[in-house]
Structure 1
Amino acid sequence: MSDRTMERQVLLFIWFLSLSSALGQVSYSIPEEMAKGSLVGNIAQDLGLDLKRLKSGKARIYTGDIAEYIELNKERGVLLIKERIDREALCGQTTPCALHLQITLENPMEFYSVTIEIVDVNDNSPVFAVKEIKFDISESSLTGAKFVLETAVDDDVGLNGVQSYFLHPADHFILKTQDMPDGSKNVEMILQKPLDREKQEHISLLLTAVDGGNPQMSGTIPIVITIEDANDNAPVCYLPVYKTSVAENSPKGTILTAVQASDADQGQNGKIEYHISKSSGGATNLFEIDRDEGVLRLSGDTDYERIKHYQIDVQARDPGRHSDTCKVIVDVIDVNDNKPVINIMSKSNTLSEDSKPGTAVTMLNVQDSDSGENGKVQCSINDNIPFKLKSTNNKFFSLVTDGDLDRERESEYNISVTCTDEGVPSLSSSVTLSLQISDVNDNAPVFRTTDSRKSDLKYIRPCSESIISLDSSGTQTLTHAQRERLNFDDCDDQYR
C-alpha cells in the first residue's frame, strides 16, 4: 500500500469519527400555549456546545416544511418559543405530539436532532355535534330498551378528553356507557320504567359530558322525547365491527362494505334505516351510506399521508327511533403519489483545490411522505466526478470529495443529485449544485526561450522522451518536425 493511499484512508477514518461524534439528539417536553419568548431548554448546555461555537458555526434551526414555532438565541445558547403552539391545531388527536427539528453548524459541518414533545392542557370543553337529540318512543317499549345517544367531542386528549356522561332527571331512563376498542365511549339511554303516553306525552332530559381535566370542563345537550304507540323491538346489527380498506386514490362511489341489521317487528315498524352518526367527525364528509340497503361508499378524497384510519359509527334505526350502532373501520392504503423532496440544509459554494478527500461540501435532507417501499429513497450523483454521496441515515446525505481536485483542469462542477423512491412506478426529484474550485499556488513559473538558430538545440527537457535524439557529441537535438509537434507549455522547464 502506497503512503498516499494510507494517508487517504486515515483521513477518511478521522472524518467519519468526527461526523459520527457530531450527531446527537436532545428531547424536551413543554405544555402547549406557552407565551412567546418562554424558555424551552438550554440547548448549548445539553449538547455540550460552547457559546463561541454557536456563533462561529453560524448555528441555525432547520425545521423542514413545518412552521417555525421555536427560535435559537445564540447569545444565551437557549431555545425559546417563537410562536404560541396549539397542540390541537398541530397534531389533532395524535399522541404523542412532537416537533422535530435540527440544529446545524458550519466549519466544520455538524447537525443535531431535537425533539420537543407538546403536552396537552385542558383548554377545550366537550362539544356535541347537534343542538338537541329527539326521540319518538313507543309507549309499548319494554323495560331495558336501549337508545343510542350522540357522543361529545373534545379536542383535548388523554384525561383531558371526555371521561363520563350524566343524565338528568333519571326517572324513566338511566345511562350506560361502554368503552370501545379505539378509546371512545358508546353512550346508551336505557328505559327503566314503563311509559304511558296518556299520562305524559313528552319528556325533557339533559345529557352532560364531563372531561377529566383540572379544572374540569363540560358540555350539555337537551334530549326531547315524544311518546308514541307500537314499536317494541330495536334493530340488532349482525356484526358489532366491520373492517374494510380503500386505496387513497380510489374514485368517488367506490363501495367499501355493507352494514346489515335485523328487526323482529313486522311491517313499517320493522323497517330499518341506516345513518352515519355525526359523532364520526370528518368521516361524514368522505363517506355515505345507502339508507335502505346499508351499503357504505366513498364520497370524498382520502389521503393516506393525512389520515390513515377512519372509524365510522353507523346507526340502524327503525321508525320508533329504536336503534343499534355498529362501527366500520376503514384503513387507507398508501399509493406512491409523492415525489421525494430534497432540502439543502447546508452548502459550500467554493472549495479549495487542495481539499482532502472526504471533505464535506453539502448536507441534504430528503423527505418522502409515502410509507413503506413508497417512502424509501435512494440518492445518486452524476458519474466521473471526484465526489460521492454518504448517507448518515435514511433521510440525511452528505456530499463529500472523493478524489483530488485540480482547478487548472476543472474550475467548476455542476453536480446533479437525483433521489428516487422505491415505489411502483417510482418517482424522483433532482437538484443541481454548482461548486467553484478555488486556486492554490501549486504550479512553478516556466520560462519560454527562443533562438535564431532553431536547428541547434543544445539542451531541452521535454514532456516526452520518445521524440528526443542525441547527436554525435551527446547533445540532445530535435528535428524540425519534432520541434513543430512539441508543446513547450506542457513542460516543467526548458533550456536551450
Structure 2
Amino acid sequence: MRIFNLKKMAVFSLQHRIMFFVVFCSHFVYGQISYSIPEEMKKGSVIGNIAQDLGLDLKRLKSGKARLYSGDSTEYIELNKVRGLLLIRENIDREALCTKITPCALHLQMVLENPMELYSITIEVTDINDNAPTFQKSEIRFEISESAITGASFVLGRAVDPDVGINGLRSYSLKPTDNFALDKQADVGKIVEMVLQKPLDREKQGIIDLLLTAFDGGDPRLSGTMSIHITVLDVNDNAPVFTHNVYKASVTENAIKGTKLTTVSASDADEGSNSHVTYYISDAVDSSVTDIFLVDQHSGEVTLNGQIDYEKLNHYQLVIQARDQGGLSNSCKVIIDVLDINDNKPTIDILSMSSSISEESKPNTVVAMIKVNDPDSGANGQLHCVINDNIPFAVTNPSNDFFSVRTEQELDREREAEYNITVTCSDEGVPSLSSSASLRLQISDVNDNAPVFERNNYEAYVVENNTPGLSIFTVKASDVDSNQNARVSYILEDSTVNGVPVSSYVTVSADSGVINAVRSFDYEQLKDFHFRVKAQDGGSPPLSTNVTVKITIQDQNDNVPQVLYPVQTGGSLVAEIVPRLADVGYLVTKVVAVDVDSGQNAWLSYKLQKATDRALFEVGPQNGEIRTVRQVTDKDAVKQKLTVVVEDNGQPSRSAVVNINVAVADSFPEVLSEFTDFTHGKTYNDDLTFYLILALAAVSFLFITCLVVIISVKIYRWRQSRIFHHSNLPVIPYYPPGYTDTGVTGTLPHMYNYDMCMTTDSRKSDCKYSTLGGQKILIMDRSFTETMQHAKTENNFLEDPDSPDLVRGSLLYNRNGCFLHIR
C-alpha cells in the first residue's frame, strides 16, 4: 500500500479551505477532501471544483456514475457532474445543524464505479455573527434584605448565543452600578452573578431596577438584555450555605424515571422562619434541562424525570438554589455525567455493490462497499465485520467506518453460480449488538471448460445394405459452462477409410450429434472403420474435445451360395461314374460350395431336391457328400440325374441349385454309348435354329456344301482309323488301381492325374500328365471317341469290364470334343 497526503489551501471570496487525502489500494481507491464554507450561503453557491481538486476528468464523473451519499435526512449539497462542482442545495444554518459543536462539518461520500472509488468529503461550516445573545427570561426579580452584607452574590443566569468562537457570547454589562456589580471572577460562558457592593437601605430605595446586557464578539457586535427588579426586604442577616459548592453525579443513559442522582444540602444560621430552606432549580438553566431533572424542595434530592440519551448529550450542569424565608439565597452546581451503554445496533449502509462478477476475476477484487455506523462510544462503538463461512470472499476495513467486500480466492461458476453474502457487523459492547446485510452476487461465465463426451469412445453397429441417410446413432457431449459457452457443435474430423474420405461414408449433425450413413455399406467389402468426432463449444476462443467412433458393419444374407464343384457349364455335361458293384455308402462325389456372407448367413446345408432314383442316392446335409444309399443293381438306369439344393442359414435363406449327372455302368463303352447320343441330341437341338435359318437363306448352297462335307469326312475318318490302328501308342494306358476312399471326403482324392489330348491326326495328338488336386484327367475330342469305338470293333479293345480305370472315371462332353475324367 502506498499513502499520499495532499493538503491544498486556496483562498476564495468565501475563504474556502481544502484538504485532500488519498489512499490507493490494489483495487480500491479511497480519498478524503475537505472544504470550509461560511453558513447561510445562497442556494447554488459554489463550494469547490471537486473534479479539479481530486484530479479527476469530467468524463470520469459521468462514466463512473458519480453520486453523493449522505446519512442525513436533508441534502444540503449537490454535485454538478457536468462542471465537476459542489453546489449549495439548501440554506445551511450552522446553529440548527451543529448547535455548539465545533467544528461543524458535513460528512459526505462520493462513489464512483467501474472501477469502484470512494472519496470522503468533509465540508466545514464556519460561523457568522447572525445571532445576538439572548436571555431565557426578559426579566428577573429578587427580594433582598436590607441587611444583606457587602459581597453577597446573586445568580442572574446567563445569556445564550448560538454562534461560536468570536461570534459567541463575550461579555456582560450591568447598569446602574450604584449598589451592585458583576462578579469579575465569574465565567462569561456560564452563570452570571452580581455582587452587592454597597449595603442596601430599604428606607432610601425600596425597589432597584437594573439592566443586564450581554455582548458577543462579532463585527458588528450584537447584544441582548434582561431587566432585573430588586425588592429590598427587611432584615434577614444570614443566607443559606451549601455543604458543597459543586456536586457530581453520574447516570446511565437507560436509567428509568425517578432514579436518584444526588442530594444537595444547605443550612441557614438564622432561626425561625428565616432558617427554613427550600430548594429550586435555577431559572438560569435551560427549560429542556429542567424537564429532565427534578429537585425536591424540602429534601434537596435530585432525581431523573425524563429520558436521557448519551448519543444526544452526555453532560448536564444544574444550578440549585437554596432560599430561606427571609429571601436570602445561595446556589450550588450539580454536574451530571451520562454513562454510555450499548443500546445501539450498528447500521449498515451499502454504498455500492456489483450485481455480477466474472469467474476469472482476480483475488482482492472489490464487489461491494459499505459504511457501518454505531453512535455508541468507546468499546460500544468499536466495530468489526465478518461474512458467512465457506465462501471465497472476505471483508476488509480500509478506513474508519468503511468496509469493502473482496474476493479472497479464485471463483468457479461451475462450482457455484451465485453467492448470497451476509455481512454481519458487531460492536465490542457487552453484550455485543450486531446487524446484518445480504448481498446477492451472480458469477458470470467464461469459457473455461471444454465439452465432455458421455463415453471415452463409441461403437455402433449397422446392417449392410442400409439406406443412405440412415441415422446410425448419436454422440452426446455436454459443457458445464453456460449460455453460448455451453452450446456444443459436432464436427467430423478429416480422415480416410481405405483411401476414401470418411465424409463419403458418414456425416455428423452439427447440432444434434446424430451420425448418418452417406452410402449403403457392403459387409463383404468393409467390415468396420474408425473416425473421430470433435465436440466444440461456442465460446471465444472455442474449446473442443475429440472422441473415437467405431462403426461395425453387420452381415446381411445378401449373397447366394456359390457352387465351386462340380463346375456348372452351359456347353458341357459333367458325369460321375458309379460302378454297379459299388457298396452302400459309396462316395459318388462331393458338392463344394461357399457363401461370402459371414456367421450363420454362411452356414450351408445340402439336400437332394430331385433325383432319377431317390432311393439310390443321398446327400450329406452338412458336408455335401453324395453317397449311395443301397446296393446298385443291374436294373438301375445308366443315366442318373441329381438336383442338389445348397441353402444358407440366413433369414430369409438363399439357395443355389446344382445338377449332377451320374453314370451307373461297369464298362467304359457303355458310358460312351449312353452319353454320346445324349450329347449329339443336345448339340442338334441347340443348333437347330441356326441351321434352319441358314437353310432358309441358302438352300442350294447348303445342299452342295453338305455333299462335299460328307465325302470329306468319310475319307478323313478312314485315314485316321488306319493311322490309329498301326500306331504304337496305347489308346488308353493302364493305370494301377490306387483309388480308395480312405478318409478323404469329396470327389477329388489325392491321386495322380493324367491329361491326354488326342485329335484325328495321331501326329498332333498330345498326352498330359498332371498331379493337380490328385486327379487323373483324360481329355479327348469327338473324333477320338469314334476312333475308340472303331478300335473296339476291330481289336476287342476295352473288353475287360473290370478295368478300374474305366469304372472309376468321370466323362465330360462338350460341343467340340470329350473331356474324360478318370480316377
**Pair 1:290-2:343 in alignment:** no
- Displacement of 1:147 in angstroms is 1.6
Do 1:152 and 1:209's aligned partners in 2 also have CA atoms closer than 8 Å? Answer: yes
Aligned to 1:43: 50
**Pair 1:198-2:203 in alignment:** yes
Q: Counterpart of 2:211 in structure 1: which amino acid? A: L
Structure with the larger RCO, 1 or 2 (CA within 8 Å, 6+ apart): 1
d(CA) in 2 for partners of 1:90 and 1:376?
25
114, 121, 126: which one aligns with 2:121: 114
User: What SS does the corresponding residue of 1:185 show, helix, strand or coil?
Assistant: coil
Do 1:247 and 1:335's aligned partners in 2 also have CA atoms closer than 8 Å? Answer: yes
Q: Counterpart of 1:218 in structure 2: which amino acid? A: S
Structure 1 range deviating more: 221-230 or 231-240: 231-240
CA offsets 1:196-249 (integer angstroms, 9 cap, x no match): 323332222222112221121111121112222121222232322222110000
1:137-286 alignment, distance < 5 Å: 137-180=144-187, 184-281=189-286, 282-286=288-292
User: What SS does the corresponding residue of 1:280 show, helix, strand or coil?
Assistant: coil
d(CA) in 1 for partners of 2:238 and 2:266?
12
Aligned to 2:30: 23
Do 1:166 and 1:175's aligned partners in 2 also have CA atoms closer than 8 Å? Answer: yes
User: What SS does the corresponding residue of 2:173 show, helix, strand or coil?
Assistant: strand
**Pair 1:129-2:136 in alignment:** yes
Aligned to 1:473: none
**Pair 1:495-2:548 in alignment:** yes
Aligned to 2:460: 452
**Pair 1:346-2:352 in alignment:** yes
Structure 1 residues 177, 237: CA separation in 2 closer, same or farther (over 3 Å shift)? farther
- For the aligned residue pairs, the C-alpha RMSD in angstroms reads 2.6
CA offsets 1:137-165 (integer angstroms, 9 cap, x no match): 22222233222212211211222222222
- Displacement of 1:280 in angstroms is 2.1
5+ long unaligned stretches in structure 2: 1-22, 463-474, 479-534, 536-543, 550-823
Q: Counterpart of 2:460 in structure 1: which amino acid? A: S
**Pair 1:73-2:80 in alignment:** yes
d(CA) in 1 for partners of 2:31 and 2:183?
51
Structure 1 residues 383, 146: CA separation in 2 closer, same or farther (over 3 Å shift)? closer
TM-score, normalising length: structure 1: 0.85
1:377-456 alignment, distance < 5 Å: 377-446=383-452, 451-453=459-461
d(CA) in 2 for partners of 1:220 and 1:391?
53
Do 1:133 and 1:150's aligned partners in 2 also have CA atoms closer than 8 Å? Answer: no
Do 2:237 and 2:270's aligned partners in 1 also have CA atoms closer than 8 Å? Answer: yes
d(CA) in 1 for partners of 2:333 and 2:546?
89
1:339-378 alignment, distance < 5 Å: 339-378=345-384
CA offsets 1:270-313 (integer angstroms, 9 cap, x no match): 22222112322221111111112221111111101111111112
User: What SS does the corresponding residue of 2:61 show, helix, strand or coil?
Assistant: helix
Structure 1 range deviating more: 253-262 or 337-346: 253-262
Residue correspondences, number:
449
CA offsets 1:20-43 (integer angstroms, 9 cap, x no match): 7x3222111111111111111221
Q: Counterpart of 1:261 in structure 2: which amino acid? A: A
d(CA) in 2 for partners of 1:54 and 1:286?
49
- Displacement of 1:72 in angstroms is 1.3
d(CA) in 2 for partners of 1:352 and 1:417?
21
- Displacement of 1:450 in angstroms is 5.6
User: What SS does the corresponding residue of 2:87 show, helix, strand or coil?
Assistant: strand
Indicate the structure (1 or 2) with the bigger Cα radius of gyration: 2
Aligned to 1:476: none
Percent of pairs identical after alignment? Answer: 61
d(CA) in 2 for partners of 1:124 and 1:118?
15
User: What SS does the corresponding residue of 1:374 show, helix, strand or coil?
Assistant: helix
- Displacement of 1:16 in angstroms is 7.1
d(CA) in 2 for partners of 1:337 and 1:196?
58
d(CA) in 1 for partners of 2:411 and 2:150?
90
Q: Counterpart of 2:50 in structure 1: which amino acid? A: I
Do 1:289 and 1:296's aligned partners in 2 also have CA atoms closer than 8 Å? Answer: yes
User: What SS does the corresponding residue of 2:450 show, helix, strand or coil?
Assistant: coil
Do 1:152 and 1:162's aligned partners in 2 also have CA atoms closer than 8 Å? Answer: yes
CA offsets 1:457-495 (integer angstroms, 9 cap, x no match): xxx9x99xxxxxxxxxxxxxxxxxxxxxxxx9xx95432
d(CA) in 2 for partners of 1:375 and 1:232?
55
User: What SS does the corresponding residue of 1:494 show, helix, strand or coil?
Assistant: strand
Do 1:178 and 1:187's aligned partners in 2 also have CA atoms closer than 8 Å? Answer: no
